[in-house]
């Protein structure tokens, strides 16, 4: 079976890594891939947003299954075009992917169908938005409506910070066209968790939960990033909370999307806040999370390709994915300056030593190969993932492995998983 994975990050490396374990895959391509993916798949010089180029390749090479990693090609309609060409592809349609592509659509859908979420207001004009925040209890959360690589969310503790955020999003256009409209949301209080599910349009099969670390510095300080690390399981997500997230949030959302004529197939990812009133939706993503995928897929004992094909065929109810009870922790190694400006082309040292640790896997993200050496090529450079018995063992293992890696300007958080460890103490 020929499989094409679209994307170049740590999520895509984890997908390629898991797909390569399937006895059904005999050839894997990745467009465009990275230095780590190149050891498992044939990397193609085709960008993830180049839908005509990807479609042409998939047709000519008779690819059996295409798996879409990032959100941009999904919201641009890649799945629709592949399906129209008679190709099998894993991911939601353009209409379904709007649940991530438009935060306004998402929040209005949740409100319409009574799915738990925080209060919100939508603005097209910065002046009206500024008037609104001056009347609201603080803090408030401000979000650019469109795609912003996980960085278009700003928590404002004061009116001044809120006004500044409105200017950044709507006036200075820090996030480009994503700032055409602005969401101002109630600030929900509690711990965040990520709950992803496989969906076939009707049925869903929830994955094990994970917890991401969005802020760039320890103790959740500094600006938001695409994610600095993750762990799974999540002690804060009790069995009761997990069932509430599935039955009151995920399943009703799948049903709501079907009623709206936007049948959902692929991965549906709910970012939820565990509030005193129960889990509430912060946002939805229309694909695997990054870096959550790097801790969730290592815990999947089943054949990922079998599950993906069941999602496409509408037969997910006949598949029962099995999950490991192991603990997984991922620490992201980032370039100095990320999520702001950073330099590329820094030599990575110590990768073999880090990979030699038992239960440790290196998932490359922003890497490339030059003159036979692996060098940095992005903000988040790679994720070090450890699988172990309990949080204490796994955290010690992941940081021991990460300690073997060096590159100029390297930055990583030192507290990934600490909250889970404290919860079990």
Segment (H or E) for 255 = helix 251-259
Tell me the HSE value of 299 on the side-chain side, using a 13 A CA sphere: 24
Provide the pLDDT for residue 150.
64
CATH architecture label of 327-423 = Alpha-Beta Complex (3.90)
Using only the alpha carbons of the chain, give its radius of gyration.
21
**pTM (two decimals):** 0.94
Report how far apart, in Å, the C-alpha atoms of 106 and of each of 86, 285, 414 are.
Answer: 29, 10, 34
Give bridge partners of residue 144 from the DSSP assignment.
Answer: 182
CA 39, CA 352: separation in Å to the nearest integer?
A: 13
For residue 425, the model assigns a pLDDT of: 67
Instruction: Give, to the nearest 10 degrees, the angle between helix 103-112 and helix 94-101.
Output: 100
Mean predicted confidence (pLDDT) in 220-230: 93
* Closest to 18 (Cα-Cα) out of 31, 35, 3: 3
Residue whose tokens read 């909370």: 241
pLDDT of residue 147: 82
Task: Give every CB contact of residue 108 below 8 A, 6+ residues apart in sequence.
Answer: none
When mean pLDDT is compared across 100-104, 206-210, 257-261, 375-379, the lowest value belongs to: 100-104
Tally Cβ neighbours within 10 Å of residue 184: 21
Structure-token match 């450079």, residue found: 381
Per the document, the length of the chain is 425
Q: In which band, very low, low, confident or very high, does the pLDDT at 363 lie, cut at 50, 70 and 90? A: very high
The residue written with tokens 């097209």 in the block is 124
Share of the chain above pLDDT 90, in %: 93
Say if residue 397's pLDDT is above 90.
yes
Provide the token pair at 213. Answer: 């670390």
Average pLDDT over residues 249-266: 98
Cβ proximity of 109 and 260 under 8 Å: yes
Distance CA(397)–CA(401), nearest Å, equals 6
Give CATH superfamily name and number for 191-318.
Answer: ATP-grasp fold, B domain (3.30.470.20)
- Residue among 346, 338, 330, 336 at smallest CA distance from 401: 330
Q: Could you tell me the pLDDT band of residue 129, with boundaries at 50, 70 and 90?
A: very high
Alpha carbon of residue 7 to chain centroid: 12
Over residues 73-79, the mean pLDDT reads 98
Name the token pair of 305.
């390709």
The two tokens of residue 139 are 């803090």
- Run of H or E residues at 165: helix 159-166
CATH of 2-91, one of 3.40.640.10, 3.40.50.11290, 3.40.50.720, 3.40.50.20: 3.40.50.20
Is the pLDDT at 424 greater than 80? The verdict is no
Give the DSSP H/E element, type plus range, for residue 31: strand 27-32
224 token code pair: 């938001």
- Residue 292 in this model has a pLDDT that exceeds 70: yes
Is the CB of residue 19 less than 8 Å from the CB of residue 25?
A: yes
Least trusted range by pLDDT, from 84-98, 173-187, 259-273, 320-334: 173-187
Q: Which fold has domain 125-180?
A: Dna Ligase; domain 1 (3.30.1490)
CA gap 121, 129 in Å, rounded: 9
For 142-194, how does the pLDDT look when each residue is reduced to its tens digit (9 = 90+)? 999 888 766 678 899 999 999 999 999 999 998 998 888 999 999 999 999 99
Question: Which of 296, 327, 308, 342 minimizes the C-alpha distance to 397?
Answer: 327
Spell out the domain ranges in the chain. Answer: 2-91, 125-180, 191-318, 327-423
Render 192-245 in DSSP notation, one character per residue: EEEEEEEEESS-EEEPPPBEE--EEEGGGEEEE-S-SEEEES-TTS-HHHHHHI
Cis peptide before 345 (omega within 30 of 0): no
DSSP assigned state of 414: S
Other CB atoms closer than 10 Å to residue 171's CB: what's the count?
A: 10
């Amino acid at each position: 079976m020929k499989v094409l994975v679209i994307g170049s990050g740590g999520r895509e490396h984890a997908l390629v890594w898991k797909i390569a374990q399937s006895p059904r895959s005999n050839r894997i391509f990745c467009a465009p891939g990275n230095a780590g993916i190149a050891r498992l798949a044939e990397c193609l010089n085709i960008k993830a947003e180049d839908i005509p180029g990807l479609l042409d390749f998939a047709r000519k090479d008779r690819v059996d299954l295409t798996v879409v990693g990032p959100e941009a090609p999904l919201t641009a309609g890649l799945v629709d075009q592949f399906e129209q060409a008679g190709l099998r592809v894993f991911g939601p349609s353009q209409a379904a992917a709007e649940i991530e592509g438009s935060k306004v659509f998402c929040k209005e859908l949740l409100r319409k169908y009574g799915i738990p979420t925080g209060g919100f207001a939508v603005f097209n004009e910065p002046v009206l938005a500024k008037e609104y925040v001056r009347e609201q209890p603080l803090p408030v959360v401000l979000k650019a409506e469109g795609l912003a690589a996980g960085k278009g969310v700003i928590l404002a503790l004061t009116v001044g910070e809120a006004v500044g955020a409105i200017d950044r999003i709507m006036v200075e256009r820090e996030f480009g066209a994503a700032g055409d409209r602005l969401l101002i949301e109630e600030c929900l209080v509690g711990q965040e968790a990520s709950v992803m599910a496989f969906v076939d349009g009707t049925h869903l099969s929830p994955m094990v939960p994970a917890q991401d670390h969005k802020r760039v510095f320890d103790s959740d300080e500094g600006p938001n990033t695409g994610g600095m690390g993750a762990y799974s399981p999540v002690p804060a997500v009790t069995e009761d909370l997990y069932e509430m997230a599935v039955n009151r949030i995920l399943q009703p959302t799948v049903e709501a999307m079907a009623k709206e004529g936007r049948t959902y197939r692929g991965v549906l990812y709910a970012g939820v806040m565990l509030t005193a009133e129960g889990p509430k939706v912060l946002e939805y993503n229309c694909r695997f999370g990054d870096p959550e995928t790097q801790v969730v897929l290592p815990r999947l004992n089943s054949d990922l390709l079998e599950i993906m094909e069941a999602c496409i065929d509408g037969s997910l109810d006949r598949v029962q994915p099995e999950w490991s009870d192991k603990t997984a922790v991922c620490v992201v190694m980032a370039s100095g300056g990320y999520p702001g400006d950073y330099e590329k082309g820094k030599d990575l040292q110590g990768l073999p030593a880090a990979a030699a640790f038992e239960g440790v896997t290196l998932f490359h993200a922003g890497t490339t190969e030059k003159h036979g050496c692996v060098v940095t090529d992005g903000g988040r450079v790679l994720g070090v993932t450890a699988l172990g018995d309990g949080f204490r063992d796994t955290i010690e293992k992941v940081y021991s492995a990460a300690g073997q890696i060096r590159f100029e300007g390297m930055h990583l958080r030192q507290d990934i998983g600490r909250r889970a460890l404290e919860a079990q103490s």
